[in-house]
Amino acid sequence: MAILEVNGLRKSFGNVEVLKDISFSLEKGKVLSLIGSSGSGKTTLLRCITSLEKADAGTIIVNGETVFDASQKKADSSKERRRKQLAVGLVFQSFNLFPQYTALKNITLAAELAAKDNPQFKFSKKEILRDIEEKGRALLAQVGLSDKADSYPWQLSGGQQQRVSIARALCMDPKILFFDEPTSALDPELTGEILKVIQQLAQKHMTMVIVTHEMSFARQVSDEVIFMDAGVIAAEGRPEEIFDSPENSRLREFLNKFTD
């Protein structure tokens, strides 16, 4: 069964239509790469799916639940909105870590705040907070930063900050994790450590959607590739189909730019 279904998504900024009837679906545990030239709408698509932007038309279904339906008149309650929000996680290009918190606290903060809504919180505050901290430390270990729990973001390299932000997203147990060019703000020698973390997640069958300009990585890690061009899905398929025998001429043009 598809864990993500996007149907007829449209989004305009002013009179410019940036997403033109986008539909696709993704199976649970699969990795999808989104490629395409600058301005083709990749970020906008991610932002619509993660509710940072409101699409003008279409529906988004995550794990069988409609998290967005443009034809729905009534706005969700704040509680409902937050519940649906947590179905998806997002890793930003620019990390967006919280500067005043340590690496560990960055990871656990949202979970701690959410725990306050748990009716059990009053009675077993200590245990709940301890469990969250343990989870945070386990996630730090998973991204290879056990020794950086008490470091503040400014004390970390870009690659380390991005790994913390991945752990932060994972701490809320998203059904699907989205990445918007997770390595493009990094020095080339630091991209490897991020790609390794993503690869490990893929081995654990984390469902992921990755916007990337790293073609060799996209080919390695993904099960599916979507090529976006001027707001439409111009080509989609398995990585071999997309990279080895591209039929779409725009796609060929796009890929040629990476082969020199």
Partner 1 sequence: MSFAAVNLQLLDGFKTTCMLFFVTLIAAIPLGLVVAFFSMSKFKPLQLLSRFFVWVIRGTPLMLQVMVVFYGPGLMFGMKSFPREEAVCIAFIINYAVYFSEIYRGGIESIPRGQYEAGQVLGMKKSQVFFKVVLLQVIKRIVPPMSNEIITLVKDTSLARVIAVGELVKAAQDIINTRGLIWPLFYTAVFYLIFCGGLTLIFSRIEKKLDYFRG
Ligand X SMILES: Nc1ncnc2c1ncn2[C@@H]1O[C@H](COP(=O)(O)OP(=O)(O)OP(=O)(O)O)[C@@H](O)[C@H]1O
> What is the C-alpha to C-alpha distance for residues 53 and 85, in angstroms, rounded to an integer?
12
Among 40, 43, 161, 165, binds Mg ion (CB under 5 A): 43
| CB 89, CB 170: distance < 8 Å | yes
Q: Which residues contact 216 (CB under 8 A, 6 or more apart)?
A: none
DSSP assignment letter at 235: E
Applying CB under 5 A, the span of 36-44, 71-79, 155-163, 222-230 interacting with Mg ion comes to 36-44
Per-residue contact track with Mg ion, 50 to 79, x per CB under 5 A? ------------------------------
Indicate whether 183 belongs to the interface with Mg ion (CB under 5 A).
Answer: no
Given 2, 57, 70, 114, the residue binding partner 1 (CB under 8 A):
114
Binding window for partner 1 (CB under 8 A); candidates: 97-105, 189-197, 199-207, 222-230: 97-105
CB nearer to ligand X: give 102 or 212: 212
Closer to partner 1 by CB, 88 or 251: give it.
Answer: 88
Token digits of residue 145? 């930063």
Position among 98, 137, 190, 219 found at the interface with partner 1 (CB under 8 A)? 98
Q: Is 51 in the site for ligand X (CB under 6 A)?
A: no
Q: Considering only residues 117-156, where is the footprint of partner 1 by CB under 8 A?
A: 152-154
Angle at 59 between CA 55 and CA 64, to 5 degrees: 140
Q: Residue 94 Cβ, how far from partner 1 at the closest point, in Å?
A: 6
87/150 Cα distance (integer angstroms): 28
# residues near ligand X by CB under 6 A: 10
What CA–CA distance (Å, rounded) separates 43 from 4?
17
- H helices then E strands: how many in the chain? 9, 10
CB neighbour list of residue 183: distance below 8 Å, 6 or more residues apart: 162, 190, 191, 194, 195, 212, 214
Binding interface with Mg ion (CB under 5 A)? 43
Binding interface with ligand X (CB under 6 A)? 13, 18, 36, 38-44
